[in-house]
Structure 1
Amino acid sequence: MKLTEKQPGSKSCFVCGRENLAGLKLEFYMIEPGKVCSYFNLHEHYEGYPGAIHGGIIAAILDECGGRAQMIEPNRFIVTAQLCVRYRRPVPSRTDLVVYGVAGERRGRVSFASSEIQSMDGKILADAELVLMDIPESQFTDVDLEAMGWRVYLDEEVG
């Protein structure tokens, strides 16, 4: 699969934050407009029970990836209004995995997306349907995105 464009990350986000010591530090790539992915392998610190990632961590990853699928413009911010997660199989720790997000329909400030975590052999381990709301641009007029660390991080900066 061809990854076409790395999406911005931030300093403090739990899922993508580069400086969040407890965070997952996932990097997201656009595959094509409206479709994104991230490859990851999580440490046992994120387990709910031995060998399996905690359901809340799984939900956070699905939420982030689904929302990012709707980030057509890099500085358009949205929040999740509803997240419906289906846990199909245990999501293993210390295993290479991939999460995909796909943008759905858009109706004014409301948009829809879906996401799924897969094993490297294509088995769906968990999936989600999202309802998202645009954050009004007026809420970002005085926000310094650079100070937030909102930018594309180079591979050599990833730690």
Structure 2
Amino acid sequence: MIKQPNSDYCFVCGRNNPRGLYVTFYDNGRNEVTATHTIPEAYQGYPGVVHGGIVAALLDEVVARVAMIGDPHHFMMSVKLEVKYRHPIPTETELTAVGRIVRLRGRLGKAVGEIRLPDGTVAAEATMTLADVPAEILASANLEALGWQVDE
């Protein structure tokens, strides 16, 4: 598995965000991104259950990161994210998030993802339409200032 970069202050992957999730992502070099992570109680909606917005944020990140497979500087953003919540997701439980490429062609793409419970049950799933980040935004991006790097 190939470790993907993190930034400093991204809510999901940021290593220095005091309120972030601190998730680390890996890809298989072909078509899939994965992360194994435990969501703390601080991010609950109902007692002991991860807030749905946190679930959507994790899915948004793992699914969009499929664009970076083979090129950690190929940034795409969500155009449409559809989430289906299948089962309550418990806090303080190791989860597996997976994103898979359906189609990446030109400046648009489609990908899917899921969050699995420890027993393999799919607790939430997502479908996403992605688009390349506009060139004018990338032109002004300073990846070094963002802390965009693979942590050892």
Under a length normalisation based on structure 2, what TM-score does the superposition of the two structures give?
0.95
SS at match of 2:60: helix
- 1:45 aligns to what? 42
Residue 120 of structure 1: CA displacement? 1.8
* Match runs of 1:61-72 below 5 Å: 61-72=58-69
Q: Which amino acid aligns with 2:72?
A: P
Deviations 1:53-79 (A, max 9, x none): 000000000000000112231001111
Query: Which residue, out of 141, 144, 159, partners 2:142?
Result: 144
The DSSP-based 3-state class of the residue aligned with 1:146 is helix
Alignment-derived partner of residue 58 in structure 1: 55
One of 98, 115, 118 as aligned partner of 1:117 = 115
Following TM superposition, by how much is the alpha carbon of 1:26 offset from its aligned partner in structure 2, in angstroms?
0.2
- Partner residue, 1:5: 2
Equivalence for 2:129 = 131
After superposition, the CA RMSD in angstroms is: 1.1
Cα distance, 1:138 vs. partner?
4.3
Query: Which segment is superposed worse, 104-113 or 4-13?
Result: 104-113
Is the contact between residue 66 and residue 99 of structure 2 (CA under 8 Å) also seen in structure 1?
yes
* Partner-residue secondary structure (3-state), 2:150: coil
Distance 2:13 2:85 in 1: 22
State the alpha-carbon separation in 2 of the partners of residues 107 and 140 from structure 1.
Answer: 19
| Aligned sequence identity (%) | 42
83-92 vs 102-111, which moves further? 102-111
130-139 or 46-55: bigger deviation: 130-139
Deviations 1:36-89 (A, max 9, x none): 100001110000010100000000000000001122310011110000000000
Once the two structures are superposed, the pairs formed by residues 98-109 of structure 1 within 5 Å of their partners are 98-109=96-107
The amino acid that maps onto 1:116 is: E
Query: Which runs of structure 1 show a deviation greater than 3 angstroms over 4 or more consecutive aligned residues?
Result: none
- After TM superposition, the structure 1 stretch with the greater mean CA deviation from structure 2, 31-40 or 86-95, is 31-40
Q: Which amino acid aligns with 1:101?
A: G
Query: Is 1:27 aligned with 2:43?
Result: no
Which ranges in structure 2 are unaligned for 5 or more consecutive residues?
Answer: none
- Any stretches of 5+ residues in structure 1 without a counterpart? 155-159
Corresponding residue of 1:87: 85
- How far apart in 2 are the matches of 1:18 and 1:133? 25
The correspondence for 1:16, drawn from 1, 13, 32, is 13
Partners of 1:34 and 1:74 lie apart in 2 by 14
Report if aligned partners of 1:10, 1:18 keep a CA contact under 8 Å in 2.
Answer: yes
Indicate if the aligned counterparts of 1:69 and 1:101 stay in contact, CA closer than 8 A: yes
